[in-house]
């Protein structure tokens, strides 16, 4: 009897561990049915700042040759950023690909454009096919995606099934060293490796203008720290690295809209918000934070953000 109880207990433990391991994948596959939604809102966007292009893209001039290009009618309300130097420009994220962003970019600069994506999720990489020159962070994970000279993200790196999209294949023209400088002529950016949301996530630092383009690491609304590849320990290590190295007046330009008080406009956060995220991560990892929901578990961060995590809550 005791032996039977031990075996049954062991099997149950294994089942719980397996459920935790597979949950990010199962959640991703089922999300399209669990959370049905229109890809594009049929209503026109009402911008707090900037102007609409083709009734789909929102363009906002941030000054210093920097533009935010948003997709406010796309259900994830993504924002990409165009950073223009004297000899070339960088587009940080290629848009979701729901509509072709390249015409908007061509309307803002005639210089050659290099696209660098913040990470490989479909809503940031989906528009890559319209561009000829792609720069990619040089990591073992990203090199592993190249076969026959062509880069293709895996199913669970791209997650395109959320929008019924197949992953794109493309050539990488420039492998970029983590921490390395990117010369645009007259201005320079630095590529930072910022794992947490995904292992190969990056941020672009424009230190002359105190701007950090930070992708999905942090943004207003709910942070996703539970999809395949997400890691709370990596999230916290990156947050601490940024808190320890960025000036306090750095503005974080994020990849999803919107701030509560500002309506539809390029979404930004401050270093104070990053400190709040670090504190929330510490509380979650110490088992001292109260969550709502079963999967994902959603923890409070501050007025602008919550943090959604998977199994186990405190030790990913
Ligand atoms: Zn993402
Ligand atoms: Zn995203």
Which ligand neighbours the alpha carbon of 254 most closely?
2
> How far apart are the CA of 211 and the centre of ligand 1, in A?
20
**Residue 293: alpha-carbon gap to chain centroid:** 22
> How far apart are the CA of 18 and the centre of ligand 2, in A?
27
Phi, psi of 128 (to 5 degrees): -65, -25
> How far apart are the CA of 107 and the centre of ligand 2, in A?
24
pLDDT tens-digit readout, 145-182: 999 999 999 999 999 998 889 999 999 999 999 999 99
End-to-end CA distance of the chain: 36
CA distance 293 to 54: 39
In this predicted structure, what is the pLDDT of residue 112? 98
In this predicted structure, what is the pLDDT of residue 282? 95
- Order the strands of the 89-92 sheet from edge to edge: 51-53, 57-63, 66-70, 79-84, 89-92, 113-116, 134-137, 174-176
Phi, psi of 233 (to 5 degrees): -70, -40
pLDDT tens-digit readout, 265-311: 999 999 999 999 999 999 999 989 999 988 899 999 999 999 999 87
**Band (313; pLDDT cuts 50, 70, 90):** low
**What percent of the chain is modeled with pLDDT above 90?**
82
Q: Residue 20: enclosing H or E segment and its boundaries?
A: helix 2-34
> How far apart are the CA of 163 and the centre of ligand 1, in A?
13
> How far apart are the CA of 96 and the centre of ligand 2, in A?
9
Which ligand neighbours the alpha carbon of 196 most closely?
1
In this predicted structure, what is the pLDDT of residue 27? 73
Determine the average pLDDT of the residues in 84-107.
98
Tokens of 135: 């720069």
pLDDT tens-digit readout, 198-245: 999 999 999 999 999 999 999 999 999 999 999 999 999 999 999 999
Is a pLDDT exceeding 70 seen at residue 312?
A: no
> How far apart are the CA of 249 and the centre of ligand 2, in A?
25
Please state the three-class secondary structure of 176-224 as a single string.
ECCCCEEECCCCEEEEEECCCCCCCCEEEEEHHHCEEEEECCCCCEEEE
Which ligand neighbours the alpha carbon of 158 most closely?
1
Is a pLDDT exceeding 60 seen at residue 314?
A: no
**Band (11; pLDDT cuts 50, 70, 90):** confident
> How far apart are the CA of 188 and the centre of ligand 2, in A?
25
**Band (85; pLDDT cuts 50, 70, 90):** very high
In this predicted structure, what is the pLDDT of residue 82? 98
**What percent of the chain is modeled with pLDDT above 70?**
95
**Band (3; pLDDT cuts 50, 70, 90):** confident
Ligand 2 ion local residues (Cβ < 5 A): 123, 216
> How far apart are the CA of 28 and the centre of ligand 1, in A?
12
> How far apart are the CA of 46 and the centre of ligand 1, in A?
25
In this predicted structure, what is the pLDDT of residue 276? 98
**Band (1; pLDDT cuts 50, 70, 90):** low
> How far apart are the CA of 259 and the centre of ligand 1, in A?
18
Which ligand neighbours the alpha carbon of 157 most closely?
1
Is a pLDDT exceeding 60 seen at residue 316?
A: no
Which ligand neighbours the alpha carbon of 199 most closely?
1
> How far apart are the CA of 119 and the centre of ligand 1, in A?
7
CA distance 36 to 32: 6
> How far apart are the CA of 195 and the centre of ligand 2, in A?
14
**Band (249; pLDDT cuts 50, 70, 90):** very high
Q: Which of 50-59, 65-74, 143-152, 306-315 has the lowest mean pLDDT?
A: 306-315
**Band (121; pLDDT cuts 50, 70, 90):** very high
């Amino acid at each position: 009897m005791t032996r039977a109880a031990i075996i049954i207990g062991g099997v149950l433990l294994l089942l719980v561990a397996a459920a935790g391991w597979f949950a990010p994948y199962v959640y991703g596959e089922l999300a399209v049915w669990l959370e049905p939604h229109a890809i594009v809102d049929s209503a026109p966007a009402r911008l707090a700042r900037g102007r609409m292009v083709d009734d789909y893209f929102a363009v906002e001039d941030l000054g210093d040759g920097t533009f935010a290009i948003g997709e406010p009618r796309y259900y994830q309300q993504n924002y990409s950023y165009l950073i223009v130097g004297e000899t070339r420009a960088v587009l940080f994220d290629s848009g979701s690909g729901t509509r072709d962003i390249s015409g908007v970019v061509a309307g803002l600069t005639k210089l050659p454009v290099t696209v660098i994506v913040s990470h490989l999720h479909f809503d940031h990489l989906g528009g890559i096919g319209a561009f000829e020159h792609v720069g990619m962070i040089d990591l073992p994970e990203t090199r592993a995606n190249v076969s026959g000279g062509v880069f293709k993200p895996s199913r669970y790196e791209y997650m395109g099934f959320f929008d019924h999209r197949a992953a794109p294949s493309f050539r990488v023209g420039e492998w970029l060293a983590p921490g390395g400088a990117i010369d645009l002529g007259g201005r320079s950016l630095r590529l930072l490796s910022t794992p947490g949301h995904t292992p190969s996530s990056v941020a672009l630092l424009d230190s002359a203008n105190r701007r950090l383009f930070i992708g999905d690491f942090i943004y207003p609304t709910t942070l996703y720290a539970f999809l395949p590849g997400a890691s709370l320990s990596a999230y916290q290590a990156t947050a601490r690295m940024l808190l320890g190295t960025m000036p306090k007046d750095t503005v974080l330009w994020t990849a999803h809209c919107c701030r509560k008080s500002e309506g539809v406009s390029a979404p930004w956060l401050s270093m104070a918000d990053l400190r709040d995220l670090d504190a929330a991560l510490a509380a979650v990892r110490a088992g001292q934070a109260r969550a709502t929901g079963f999967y994902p578990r959603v923890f409070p961060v501050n007025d602008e953000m919550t943090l959604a995590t998977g199994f186990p809550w405190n030790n990913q």
